[in-house]
Each structure stands twice: as structure tokens, then as C-alpha cells.
């Protein structure tokens, strides 16, 4: 069985804003300010933060990731969904139709979205040159093995293959905690589920 070693990136709650929503929350003409670059080319964590307001609770100071997108997307964990009192679907990034509603509060204003909140599917970013030797295609489901004291195999991991991507395994903080994973830890990708 062909395998590949991949670095893990643990994703905490965050959001991606449209330009229109950015300006509502941070003021007319607002732009995003780079806090630090992320591993995926052109992606970065921003200085800007907002509050996520749900029916049960508010999560404060949630970081915005850049650059701006066509539609605002909020990615939270299952634990976050319990705290907020929401029931977001498990989705691939960008698949927002019919997803959960939420209110966002920024320093210049607030807005209520009718959709946009998801729990992101765990996934591996591949450049085509990294996926092809294993025969991995975009949107294919693969498996990822984590070694160690709380070792496990994540199945139903979405492969995302694109020229713009750099090899990296993304899980949310709940999934990472279940296996004691940290940013930079190495995992093993399998072409087929075990």
C-alpha cells in the first residue's frame, strides 16, 4: 500500500469574510491586515477578529483568515457548536447552501447571516505532483494514520488536489485533541481506507 508522510495543521474556529461583510463589520473601505502567513500559499491569519453570537452564547475574538472570499464562511468545531447553540452541517469548504445562521459583531457594526456556519470536513491539501504518484484524485476519500499514545486512523478524509495547494493535513481542534495532534506533527496518508 502506497503511503505519504504529511504535516498536520490544526484549525481552530475562524472565519473568512466577503468584502461587503468586512466593511459592515470593520468600516467602509476596510482591508484585512496580515497577522501571520499560513502554510497554504496566499492564505494568512489576520489581525481582525469578530464575535460569533449564537442563541446560547457568544464566542469572542474569533480570528478572520484572508484573503476575502465571495461569501462569508464561519468554521467551528462540534464543541463550539454546543457552546453557541447551533447545529451546523459537516461540509467541504465553500459548500454553504442551507448551512447554519449566525450573527457576527465587529468594531464598526454587526450583521446576521442566514447561512455560512459549517463544521469543516477533515482534509488533505495536495499539489497534483504530490497526489499523482499515489493515484489520488480531487474529492476522493482517503485515510490518515496518526501514531503515538492516542494513535488512530481517520477515515473519510477529503483529498483536495489543486495547483495552488501545498501538502498539509487539516483537522479541527476537536479531532486533533482526540489524537493528541499538534501543528507540525507528521501523519501518514493512505490511498485507501484501512
Residue range 94-121: mean pLDDT, rounded: 98
pLDDT band, residue 157 (cuts 50/70/90): very high
Measured between alpha carbons, how far is 52 from 124 in angstroms, rounded to an integer?
Answer: 27
Residue 89 DSSP one-character state: P
Overall pTM surpassing 0.85 (yes/no): yes
Q: 131 is written with which cell numbers?
A: 497526489
Measured between alpha carbons, how far is 108 from 71 in angstroms, rounded to an integer?
Answer: 19
Q: 166 is written with which cell numbers?
A: 501545498
Helix (H, G, I), strand (E, B) or coil at 80: helix
Residue 191 has what pLDDT? 81
Q: How far is CA 46 from CA 15, 74, 127, in A?
A: 10, 14, 25
Residue 180 has what pLDDT? 96
More confident residue, 52 or 193: 52
User: Model confidence over 42-94: pLDDT tens digits?
Assistant: 999 999 999 999 999 999 999 999 999 999 999 999 999 999 999 999 999 99
Measured between alpha carbons, how far is 177 from 19 in angstroms, rounded to an integer?
Answer: 33
Residue 1 has what pLDDT? 57
Q: Are 99 and 117 in contact (CB under 8 A)?
A: yes
Residue 95 DSSP one-character state: -
Peptide bond into 87 cis (omega under 30): no
Helix (H, G, I), strand (E, B) or coil at 127: coil
Amino acid at each position: 500500500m502506497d503511503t505519504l508522510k504529511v504535516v498536520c495543521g490544526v484549525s481552530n474556529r475562524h472565519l473568512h469574510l466577503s468584502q461587503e461583510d468586512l466593511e459592515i463589520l470593520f468600516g467602509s473601505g476596510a482591508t484585512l491586515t496580515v497577522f501571520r502567513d499560513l502554510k497554504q500559499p496566499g492564505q494568512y491569519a489576520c489581525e481582525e477578529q469578530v464575535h460569533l453570537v449564537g442563541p446560547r452564547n457568544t464566542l469572542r475574538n474569533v480570528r478572520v483568515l484572508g484573503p476575502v472570499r465571495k461569501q462569508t464562511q464561519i468554521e467551528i468545531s462540534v464543541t463550539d457548536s454546543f457552546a453557541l447553540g447551533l447545529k451546523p452541517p459537516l461540509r467541504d469548504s465553500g459548500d454553504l447552501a442551507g448551512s447554519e445562521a449566525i450573527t457576527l459583531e465587529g468594531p464598526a457594526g454587526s450583521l446576521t447571516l442566514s447561512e455560512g456556519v459549517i463544521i469543516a470536513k477533515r482534509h488533505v491539501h495536495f499539489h497534483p505532483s504530490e497526489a499523482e504518484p499515489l493515484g489520488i484524485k480531487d474529492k476522493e476519500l482517503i485515510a490518515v494514520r496518526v501514531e503515538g499514545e492516542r494513535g488512530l486512523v481517520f477515515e473519510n478524509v477529503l483529498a483536495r488536489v489543486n495547483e495552488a495547494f501545498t501538502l498539509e493535513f487539516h483537522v479541527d481542534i476537536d479531532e486533533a485533541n482526540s489524537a493528541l495532534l499538534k501543528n507540525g506533527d507528521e501523519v501518514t496518508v493512505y490511498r485507501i481506507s484501512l
